[in-house]
Structure 1
Amino acid sequence: MASNFADLFEHAVDAMPERTAVIHGDRRVTFAELDERADRLASYFTSLGLDTSAHIGFQMHNSIETMETLLATFKLRAVPINVNYRYGAPELRYLYDNADLDALVYHRSYAPAAQAALAAVPGVRHVFVVDDDLGSDAIASDATPYEQAMAAGAPGRVARERSADDLFMMYTGGTTGMPKGVMWRQEDMWRVLGGGIDFYTNEPVADEYQQSRVGTGNPPTTWLMLPPLIHAAGMMPTFNALWSGATVIFESSFDPRRIWATVAREKPFVMVLTGDAMARPLLDAYIAAPSDVSSLMVIASGAALLSQPTKNALLENFPDRLISDSIGSSETGFGGIGYATKDDDPGRGPRVQTGRGAVVVDENGTPVAVGAEGWLAKTGAVPLGYYKDPEKSERLFKTVDGKRMVITDDRARAEEGGHITLIGRGNMVINTGGEKVFVEEVESVLKSHESVFDAVVVGIAHERWGQQVAAVVSVAGDSDVDFAALTGHARRYLAGYKVPRSIWVAETIVRSPSGKPDYRWARDRTAERSPDHRVE
Structure 2
Amino acid sequence: MAWDTVATARGPDPAREETTVQDLALPMWLTAAGAQRHGAHRIAMRDENGSMTYAELAEAMAGVGAGLLETGLRPGDVVVTAMEPSIPHVVALLGAMRAGMIAAPLGTRLTSSEAVAYLEHLQPAAVVTDHAHADLAHTLGHRVIDLPEADASTGDRLAPLRRAPVDLPAPGENDPAIIFPTGGTTGAPKGAVHTHRTLWLWLNTCAHGNPRVPTDVELCFSPFFHITLGTNLFTPLLAGGEVWIQRRFDAGAALEAIDRGATRLMGAPTMFTALRAHPQFDSVDRSGVTAIRYGSTPSTGEFIHDLMRDFPNARIRAGFGATEFGSVIGFDHEDLLAGRVSGIGRPLPGVTVRVLTGDGQEAGPGEVGELVVSCPWQTIGYYGRREDTAETYRCDGVHVGDLATRDADGWLSIVGRSKEMIISGGENVFPREVETVLLDHPAVADVIVYGVPDEFWGERVEAAVVPAGGAIVEAEQLRDHCRARLAGFKIPKAVRTIESIPLTPNNKPDRRAVRAAALTVTG
- TM-score, normalization by structure 1: 0.85
Structure-2 residue corresponding to 1:448: 440
Residue 252 in structure 1 maps to residue 252 in structure 2: no
Structure-1 residue corresponding to 2:218: 223
Give the CA deviation at 1:429: 0.8
**d(CA) in 2 for partners of 1:417 and 1:11?**
43
Kindly report which structure 2 residues correspond to 1:87-126, keeping only aligned pairs within 5 A, or say none: 87-115=110-138, 117-118=139-140, 121=141, 124-126=142-144
Match for 1:161: what amino acid? Answer: A
Match of 2:385 among 389, 401, 409: 389
Match of 1:240 among 226, 231, 235: 235
Give the CA deviation at 1:99: 1.6
Match for 2:292: what amino acid? Answer: I
Q: 1:173 to 1:392 in 2, by over 3 A?
A: same
**d(CA) in 1 for partners of 2:206 and 2:438?**
38
Conservation of the 8 A alpha-carbon contact between 1:83 and 1:95:
no
Match for 1:184: what amino acid? Answer: H
Match of 1:269 among 236, 244, 263: 263
**d(CA) in 2 for partners of 1:453 and 1:445?**
12
Conservation of the 8 A alpha-carbon contact between 1:360 and 1:413:
no
Residue 303 in structure 1 maps to residue 292 in structure 2: no
Match for 2:169: what amino acid? Answer: R
**Which stretch shifts more, 186-195 or 98-107?**
186-195
Structure-2 residue corresponding to 1:37: 60
Residue 179 in structure 1 maps to residue 173 in structure 2: no
Give the CA deviation at 1:31: 0.9
Match for 1:77: what amino acid? Answer: G
**Which stretch shifts more, 412-421 or 323-332?**
412-421
Structure-2 residue corresponding to 1:321: 314
**Which stretch shifts more, 488-497 or 9-18?**
488-497
**d(CA) in 2 for partners of 1:260 and 1:197?**
24
Residue 149 in structure 1 maps to residue 144 in structure 2: no
Kindly report which structure 2 residues correspond to 1:461-472, keeping only aligned pairs within 5 A, or say none: 461-472=453-464
Secondary structure in structure 2 of the residue aligned to 1:436? strand
Secondary structure in structure 1 of the residue aligned to 2:35? helix
Q: 1:193 to 1:498 in 2, by over 3 A?
A: farther
Conservation of the 8 A alpha-carbon contact between 2:218 and 2:232:
no
Conservation of the 8 A alpha-carbon contact between 1:299 and 1:323:
yes
Structure-1 residue corresponding to 2:169: 160
Conservation of the 8 A alpha-carbon contact between 1:429 and 1:438:
yes
Q: 1:200 to 1:39 in 2, by over 3 A?
A: closer
Structure-2 residue corresponding to 1:142: none
Residue 353 in structure 1 maps to residue 346 in structure 2: yes
String of CA shifts for 1:431-478, please: whole Å, max 9, x gaps: 111211111222233233222222221100111111111112222223
Match for 2:294: what amino acid? Answer: S
Structure-2 residue corresponding to 1:140: none
**d(CA) in 2 for partners of 1:130 and 1:495?**
58
**d(CA) in 2 for partners of 1:492 and 1:248?**
47
Q: 1:345 to 1:156 in 2, by over 3 A?
A: closer
**Which stretch shifts more, 99-108 or 310-319?**
310-319
Q: 1:8 to 1:249 in 2, by over 3 A?
A: same
Match of 1:457 among 444, 449, 474: 449
Give the CA deviation at 1:398: 1.2
String of CA shifts for 1:346-370, please: whole Å, max 9, x gaps: 8xx5140212223123246554455
Conservation of the 8 A alpha-carbon contact between 2:207 and 2:236:
no
**d(CA) in 2 for partners of 1:521 and 1:95?**
19
**d(CA) in 1 for partners of 2:365 and 2:135?**
53
Give the CA deviation at 1:26: 5.4
Q: 1:369 to 1:457 in 2, by over 3 A?
A: closer
Match for 2:92: what amino acid? Answer: T
Conservation of the 8 A alpha-carbon contact between 2:355 and 2:371:
yes
**Which stretch shifts more, 124-133 or 23-32?**
124-133
Q: 1:25 to 1:68 in 2, by over 3 A?
A: same
Give the CA deviation at 1:166: 1.5
Match of 1:336 among 313, 321, 329: 329
Secondary structure in structure 2 of the residue aligned to 1:529? helix
Give the CA deviation at 1:390: 1.9
Conservation of the 8 A alpha-carbon contact between 2:62 and 2:166:
yes
Structure-2 residue corresponding to 1:129: 147
**d(CA) in 2 for partners of 1:343 and 1:301?**
18
**d(CA) in 2 for partners of 1:236 and 1:313?**
24
Structure-1 residue corresponding to 2:473: 481
Sequence identity (%): 24
**d(CA) in 2 for partners of 1:304 and 1:445?**
14
Match of 2:73 among 43, 50, 70: 50
Match of 2:371 among 360, 376, 384: 376
Residue 65 in structure 1 maps to residue 88 in structure 2: yes
Give the CA deviation at 1:372: 4.2
Conservation of the 8 A alpha-carbon contact between 2:66 and 2:168:
no
**d(CA) in 2 for partners of 1:392 and 1:6?**
30
- TM-score, normalization by structure 2: 0.87
Q: 1:288 to 1:343 in 2, by over 3 A?
A: farther
Match for 2:196: what amino acid? Answer: Q
Match of 1:526 among 507, 518, 522: 518
Structure-1 residue corresponding to 2:6: none
Match for 1:220: what amino acid? Answer: T
Aligned length: 491
Conservation of the 8 A alpha-carbon contact between 2:320 and 2:328:
yes
Structure-2 residue corresponding to 1:209: none
Q: 1:370 to 1:484 in 2, by over 3 A?
A: closer
Q: 1:20 to 1:295 in 2, by over 3 A?
A: same
Structure 1 gap ranges (5+): 135-144, 202-214, 532-536
Conservation of the 8 A alpha-carbon contact between 1:365 and 1:407:
no
Q: 1:292 to 1:483 in 2, by over 3 A?
A: same
Conservation of the 8 A alpha-carbon contact between 1:370 and 1:416:
yes
Structure-2 residue corresponding to 1:12: 33
